[in-house]
Chain A
Amino acid sequence: MPRLALHTRIIVLFLLITISGLVLLNMVFQAKQDEIHGAIGRMELSERLRSIRHYNAEDSLKAGEIMREYDAAKALLNISLGNSRVVTSVVLFLVIIASSLIFIVSIIRISKPLRELKHATDQIRQGNYSVHLPETGISEMRELKNSFNVMSRELESTQTKLLLAEKEMIWKDLSRILAHEIKNPLTPIQLVIQRLQERLETDPGSITDILPESVSIITQEIENLRLLAQDFSNYAKASQPARELFNPALLIREIIKSYAQNYDIRLELAEDLQVFFDKTHFYQVITNILQNAIDASLDAKPITIKMYGERSYVVICVQDQGVGIESKDLARIFEPYFSMKTKGTGLGLALVKKLCDANNAIVRVKSKAGEGSEFTLIIEDTAS
């Protein structure tokens, strides 16, 4: 049975006390009326008068009048008693019905706006700040609804301002990063061009000596710009996952191939596992985490990739012994455009998080500044 609200309990208690009191009063009243009714029934004045011998006509006449008045009064008393009992019962019945109706109507009038308020609060909790309540009902409820409406309007306005501010901040951050990342390759290109111009003015014959190196630098920096554009593009258009079952060990080995010659990457992979993940997304996730580990690892310290099964999941850990992450930065590393590196867009780990979410996988990080980091992926091993 649902627990009654305080106001309901108070009203029920009040009704019970009132109605019990009235019923008790009625019982006493009825008992007293029963006594009177019995007493009237036992009064046999007319019978006694009738049995008295009257000596003259005048006495008989007087006795007759007394008897008639007495009998009429007795009958009237009986009827009046009956009438008062009927009226009392009907009034009591109507009072109980009316009280119960008033109680039910009051409960409805009190609880309906409260239900509306609860529903509206749920809406607010879900982020719908445009919800407004009709300011109807009893005055206290109107005031409460009015306060709620004022609050929701303020919340809506604050949310709009926050969104604008957040958008502006994102654009500022993005502009700053873009400007910085574009400026980085432009500077060497500009320097190479200036060098070529100087050589052309001072010693045009020897320009061919520096031309291959200059072209190489320009090509490299243009490639950097292309990679930068690709990073942004990848993050922006992370597509809907086309999940499938495949052996992740094979794909990890394939990814490692291009890094193995330059870096010390150690593998501890269980070979017979399968994951349910978008293959392209998996490639992007592993590449980004691995690149992150390489960037953090100074002095060519080894990077370890472990993979094992645990219940219905496959766990992949990428451990490095690099610079690690300060605890204050740990919470932000998956935010877009957040980067601790001098190079980079801050989109790599954000993309990892986004792709893991899209594939129902979990990505976690443990790190200690100066000791290294460990990124853990937890992926479902079946389509279920």
Chain B
Amino acid sequence: MFEGIGAKLFSSVVSLSLLLFSSFQGNDPRFTSVTVQKTGSYVYLSGSLHSAFENDFPSIFSSGAQIPVHFALSVRQGSKTLAQRRFTHSVSFDTVTGTYEVYKSGGAQSFQSDKVEEIIAEVARFRFGIPYQPSWGEVNIRIEASLPKVNFRELNKEVDLMVLWKHQKPSTKVVVDLRKAQ
């Protein structure tokens, strides 16, 4: 609990400091168009991350290093956690051919393009499925995105990509009654 409060306090301090004293733009990611669908024994959460990869990410994606984006999904009922899953979208780039590739662990899909705008749109878009029990009823589905520390092998240097999100992990919560959801 204290860790969560500490992280929130830190991100608030960073936001306020940047607002007051910096011209650093960074990115202000947030989840949009989040919808829940029930198909068979799975419940699917889909949507996209908005304003997450515009500034500085084109050069990061084209660095040649694999850039992962983590999504943590949790299903809770009151204070009880019913299920938790982690998904990763990762972007890689072939320097010689100038081709980007997005790999989504959730559906084991891969997407290739030489246009960074398409790659940004694809990496931001998500659809995650999680198996559910018919007895669950009304639940909170929470999704949170984060960026890891990445090691640039060519330069033997590890950097925290969260700085590009101003140390703010975007998250959103959807309350849904699975007995009624379509």
Chain A residues in the interface with B (C-beta under 8 A): 23, 26, 30-31, 33-34, 40-41, 46, 50, 60, 63-64, 67-69, 71-76, 78-80, 82-83, 85-86, 88-90, 92-94
Contact = CB atoms under 8 A, between A and B. Distances in A.
A93 B15 CA distance: 11
Interface string B58-76: 0110111100000000000
A78 B67 CA distance: 15
B21 interface: yes
B60 A68 contact: no
Interface string B142-167: 00000000001111010111011011
B23 A86 contact: no
Interface of B: 13-14, 16-18, 20-24, 26, 56, 59-60, 62-65, 93, 95-96, 98, 152-155, 157, 159-161, 163-164, 166-167
Contacts of B163: 79, 82-83, 86
Contacts, number: 110
Contacts of A68: 64, 95, 154
Contacts of A88: 21-22
A64 B21 contact: no
A376 B154 CA distance: 109
18 contacts: A23-B21, A26-B21, A50-B96, A67-B95, A68-B154, A69-B154, A71-B62, A72-B153, A72-B154, A72-B155, A76-B152, A79-B56, A79-B163, A82-B26, A86-B166, A90-B17, A93-B13, A93-B20
B155 A86 contact: no
Given A67-B96, A80-B159, A72 B63 contact: yes
A23 B22 CA distance: 10
Contacts of B166: 86
Contacts of A50: 96, 98
Contacts of B17: 86, 89-90, 92-94
Nearest to A93: B17
Given A26-B21, A86-B14, A89-B20, A71 B161 contact: no
A31 B153 CA distance: 31
B159 A76 contact: yes
